[in-house]
Amino acid sequence: DAGVIQSPRHEVTEMGQEVTLRCKPISGHDYLFWYRQTMMRGLELLIYFNNNVPIDDSGMPEDRFSAKMPNASFSTLKIQPSEPRDSAVYFCASSLAALIAQETQYFGPGTRLLVL
């Protein structure tokens, strides 16, 4: 398997623009996670899905952020409108089953977002 695939790898945009980040989890994995990494706040869980259903989105910073998983092989994280403070590395991760079952999360390479 190719692992978790994220696109784009780098994104530079201007404040106010819409940004869409994409993720393809490992085939057969039931769980998908979106994380954000910044120097100030470290790694934060934004939202996670189980079988395409959002389970916990309490980490989503505000209404400008939304995430969808229309099918088992694709998820998007959208920021509209984007702001400079959204600049970060956004990681997608997937796992075969729940963490409680000792399943490992596999991380994608991340999308480095810069909002000017």
- Based on the shown chain and the rule CB under 8 A, indicate whether residue 114 belongs to the binding site for other proteins: no
Strands 42-50 and 31-38: antiparallel
Nearer to other proteins, 38 or 80 (CB): 38
Residue 22 tokens read as 């994409």
Residue 70: count of CB within 10 angstroms of its CB = 9
- Based on the shown chain and the rule CB under 8 A, indicate whether residue 48 belongs to the binding site for other proteins: yes
Pinpoint the alpha helices (H) of 1-116: none
In the shown chain, the binding pattern of residues 70 to 109 toward other proteins, with x for contact by CB under 8 A and - for none, equals: -------------------x-x-x----xxx-x-xxxx-x
Nearer to other proteins, 25 or 110 (CB): 110
